[in-house]
Amino acid sequence: MPSIDLTPAADLLTLAEAARPGGPGQDLVALLAAVCDIESVSGDEGPLADAVETMLRAQPHLEVLRDGNALVARTHLGRERRVVVAGHLDTVPLADPPNLPTRLVDGELWGRGTVDMKAGLALMLALAVDLGRPGALPTCDLTWVFYDQEEVEAVRNGLGRLAQRRPDLLEGDFAIVGEPSDGGIEGGCNGTVRVEVRTRGVAAHSARAWVGVNAIHLAAPILDRLAAYVPAEVDVDGLVYRESMSAVGIRGGVAGNVVPDTCVVTVNYRFAPSRSVEEAVAHLRELFAGFEVEVTDAAGGARPGLDAPLAAAFAQAVLATTGGAPRPKYGWTDVARFAGLGIPAVNFAPGDPLLAHKDDERVPVAQLAPCRDALRAWLLAAPDA
C-alpha cells in the first residue's frame, strides 16, 4: 500500500475532510492515527474533546452542544426519522512500554485505541463532516454523540450523564454504537456485575501464625468455585451469548509479618441479556454462599433488537456490503443505555473485538473504508426500507 504520513495532528478538520468519500485523499488512516495519537485515557479526554469540538463547530449543517467532555452534534433537516451514531472518546491506559504513537505495519495500524474504539470514531468524524451537506443529504436526521469515561465505572459514563441531564439530545428511532465488530453487526450485549467477595480471619504476628486465622487462606474455596465454574451459553432472540465469570483482583494483608485478617476477591460476571441485574446478583450470591458479597458496579445488558425495522434494514445493508452477518456482543456496550431509553441499537465498526484492551491492539486498514461506505450508503438510502 502507498506510504502514509502518520505525523500526529490535532487538526482533525483537515483530516476528516480528506477522509470523506470523494474527498481529496480519502485518508481514513491518517485521521484514525491522529485521533489515536491524541491520548485520551478515561478521565483525560479533554484535549481530544476540544479537537473534536473545533472540527464539529466548523460544520454549518450541525448544531453542536457540549457537556463536560461529551459532545452532541445534530442535523435539522426536517426528516421523519432520526438515527443516533455514538462513540466514546476514552481508552483504557497505555501499555508498558506505551503503545502510542501509532505505527503502520503490514497493512495494520497498531496502537492504543485503534480497535476500542477510535476506528469507529474516525468513521463518525468523516461522516459527520460529509453527511448533511448539499449533495450528501441523508434520508434521516442524524445525531452524532462523542462521550467520555466509558471504560470505567458505569456511574462515570458520559452517555449516562447525558441521558440523565438531557435525554432529549439522545432521542431517535435507531442507534448505532461504534464499538468494534470486525465490520459486521453485533447485536445487543452482555450485562456486567462486579462484586467483592470477602473473607474475615484473625490478625496475628506471622511468627506465631497459629494464634491467628489467615483470611487469604480462607479465600481458597472462592477461587476453587471460580475455577470449576462452567459459563452458560444462552440463546437470546436467535443470537447465542456466551457468559463468563472471572476473578479480576485480589487483595489482603497489611505487612510482611502480619497474618491478614481480611481478604477480598473481586469477581466480574458477564451475563446474557436474558438475565436482569437482580438475577445476576442473585446468581453470584448463590455461587458464593457462605461469604460476604458486596456489589460494586453493575450494568444490565441489551437484547439484540434486530427485529426492529430500522435495525433489520441496517443488518441487511451491512450483510450485502461487508458480508458480516449479525453476531452477539459479549462485552458490555452502551447499546444497553439506548435500549433502556427505548431505542433499538446495534454495535458496528472496524476492528476485531478480541484485540480490544490488548497491548498489541491493531486494526486492518482495509476494513476502514468499507465500513464507512456501508454506513454512508445506508444513511443516504431509505432507512426504513
Residues 6+ apart with CB under 8 A from 162: 67, 70, 72, 145, 147, 169, 170
For residue 321, name the pLDDT band (cuts at 50, 70, 90): confident
What pLDDT sits at residue 382? 60
Distance CA 235, CA 272 (A): 9
Percent of the chain with pLDDT over 70: 95
- 7 vs 219: which has the higher pLDDT: 219
Determine the 3-state secondary structure of 133 from DSSP. Answer: strand
Q: Is 334 a catalytic residue?
A: no
pLDDT value for 9: 45
Query: Catalytic residue at 116?
Result: no
pLDDT-derived band at 281 (thresholds 50, 70, 90) equals very high
Active-site entry in 37, 45, 53, 90: 90
- In order of their start, the domains of the chain are 12-189+302-380 (3.40.630.10), 191-299 (3.30.70.360)
- Name the burial class of residue 31, with classes exposed (0-12), middle (13-18) and buried (19+) by CB atoms within 10 angstroms of its CB: buried
* Catalytic residue chosen out of the listed positions 150, 151, 173, 243: 150
Whether the pLDDT of residue 99 is over 90: the answer is yes
pLDDT of res. 383: 58
Q: What is the reported pLDDT for 385?
A: 45
Taking the C-alpha atoms of residue 371 and residue 352, their distance in angstroms, rounded to an integer, is 13
Rounded CA-CA distance 70/223 in Å is 40
Q: Distance between CA 24 and CA 13 in Å, rounded?
A: 13
Q: Please tell me the distance from the alpha carbon of residue 1 to that of residue 107, in angstroms, as a whole number.
A: 7
pLDDT band for position 1 (50/70/90)?
Answer: very low
Q: What is the mean pLDDT of the chain?
A: 92
pLDDT reading at 6 higher than 60: no
Vertex 109 angle, CA 89 and 323, to 5°: 85
| C-alpha–C-alpha distance, residues 276 and 283, integer Å | 11
Query: In the prediction, which pLDDT does 134 show?
Result: 87
pLDDT digits (tens, 9 = 90+) for 194-252: 999 999 999 999 999 999 999 999 999 999 999 999 999 999 999 999 999 999 999 99
Q: What are the pLDDT digits (tens) for 8-53?
A: 444 888 888 888 876 555 689 999 999 999 999 999 999 999 999 9
Cell digits of residue 323: 458480508
Q: Work out the average pLDDT over 359-376.
A: 94
pLDDT digits (tens, 9 = 90+) for 114-159: 999 999 999 999 999 999 988 899 999 999 999 999 999 888 999 9
Q: Give 247-280 as a 3 state SS string.
A: EEEEEECCCCCEECCEEEEEEEEEECCCCCHHHH
3-class state of residue 52 by DSSP: helix
Alpha-carbon span 80 to 96, nearest angstrom? 49
Say if residue 90's pLDDT is above 80: yes
| Of 89 and 373, the one with more pLDDT | 89
Identify the helix (H) or strand (E) that includes residue 162. Answer: helix 158-165
Question: Which amino acid is it at 258?
Answer: V
This prediction's pTM:
0.87
Sheet harboring 103-105: ordered strands across? 103-105, 108-110, 362-364
